[in-house]
Amino acid sequence: MIAHSIVSLFLTGVYLLVLAYLIKGWSALKRPDTNGASLTTKVTILIAARDEEERIHYTIEDIIAQDYPRHLVEVIIVDDHSTDRTAEIIRSYAAHGIKLMQLQADKPLNSYKKKAIAEAIAQSTGDLMVATDADCRMGPRWLSGVVAYYETHNPVMISSPVTYFEERTLFELLQTLEFSYLIGIGAAFIGNGRASTCNGANLAYRKDVFNEVGGFNGIDELASGDDELLLQKVAVKYPDRIGFLKNRDAVVYTHAKHTLQEFLQQRRRWASKSTKYKDKWIVALAVAIWMFNLSLLVNAGLSFYNVFFLKLLGVQLLLKYIFEAVFLLPITSFFKRAKLVGLLIILIPIHVVYFVYVGLIGNTRKYAWKGRVVR
């Protein structure tokens, strides 16, 4: 019992130290001063789309509405073998300068999205690649905000904020809170000078740097990872030149998953990338956090046999709640969703179970993505 308690408290301590590190990292990020930006950079917006007929017109309309000089914007949307009207909708915007590429894979691939992005980059004329997804929304100052930061701070890669919106159920609101936690982790690591994660729905990088690090070579056997695995390749060569754009104008909005099955498939896809992480310190931290959550489940089970373990579990959960609330409050405030932190008391027990489950299956099973079974 004593040994078990020591291990549980040790894992709790590690997790709290990680949260303290993340709190420090987010706090270190300030809204950047972009005064003096000339806004003269040629930009290519990259989108890989598959079966997005329902929402892609919203994304295109938002891009067309950007206040960035139109002659400096190239938009390339790659249709990845869609089976619906996606290509037809993209083609209808040709008069607005929207370019359609259609992926023609001559053999089965595991990473169609990386192939689509790489082919678009090869055909692009911009200096700065700005990637987003085909189901995202953004305000009119999104692109000018990204470029202003690029021109004034000279990063080679920019991770920018992403959040969910238009939630319809408690399940979707809980996802928004959990997703804020994930976005906050990526931002905080950058704030601490150790870039590790980001989100491909709002990611910018120099074209020459993409080519310099070999693009997706070495990470192209995984379906996912066009964002953070690329970021980690860039971080090896340019560890001090990756920035997080802490600017509300630069936020990209997308939707939570409507069903539990869709949610688990998405998280399984994200978890599958961890096998390719270059920074083993990050992998070790992830394992420690997984073990901490496992210890919560173990103590919950043992509490049915001994009240001591119930008290130990209570201490762990209380500390977890306090530190996570402190971390999440400024992040959700940034997104103007601070009230979501009130859902943390509901999210925590659910998240513990899900985190352990996804950690177990994320690297051991194939998953469905865009109508394909991949790994």
Position 77 pLDDT exceeds 60? yes
pLDDT of residue 54: 94
Q: Which of 55-69, 122-136, 312-326, 350-364 has the lowest mean pLDDT?
A: 350-364
Select from 135, 142, 178, 182 the least CA-distant residue to 158. 142
Average pLDDT on 260-276 reads: 80
Contact between 45 and 74 (Cβ < 8 Å): yes
Distance in angstroms (rounded) separating the CA atoms of residues 97 and 63: 11
Select from 117, 113, 52 the least CA-distant residue to 269. 113
Per the document, the length of the chain is: 375
Q: Which amino acid is at 249?
A: D
Contact between 361 and 268 (Cβ < 8 Å): yes
Structural domain boundaries of the chain? Answer: 2-25+279-374, 34-175+196-262
Distance in angstroms (rounded) separating the CA atoms of residues 145 and 128: 13
Distance in angstroms (rounded) separating the CA atoms of residues 351 and 299: 16
Summarised one tens digit per residue, pLDDT across range 87-121 is 999 999 999 999 999 987 665 556 778 889 999 99
Query: DSSP secondary-structure letter at 201?
Result: G
Q: Which amino acid is at 135?
A: D
> In the chain, pLDDT over 90 holds for what percent of residues?
78
Q: According to the CATH classification, is domain 34-175+196-262 in 3.90.550.10?
A: yes
Q: Which helix (H) or strand (E) holds 164?
A: strand 162-164
pTM, to two decimals: 0.92
Q: DSSP of 59-126, one letter per residue?
A: HHHHHHT--S-GGGEEEEEEE-S-SSSHHHHHHTTGGGTEEEEE---SS--S-HHHHHHHHHHHH---
pLDDT of residue 112: 79
Q: Which helix (H) or strand (E) holds 213?
A: none
Q: Which amino acid is at 295?
A: S
Residue 44, sorted as left (phi over 0), alpha (psi -120 to 50) or beta, turns out to be: beta
Q: Which of 121-130, 141-150, 225-234, 330-339 has the lowest mean pLDDT?
A: 225-234
pLDDT category at 25 given cuts 50, 70, 90 is very high
pLDDT category at 162 given cuts 50, 70, 90 is very high
Average pLDDT on 324-337 reads: 98
Position 139 pLDDT exceeds 60? yes
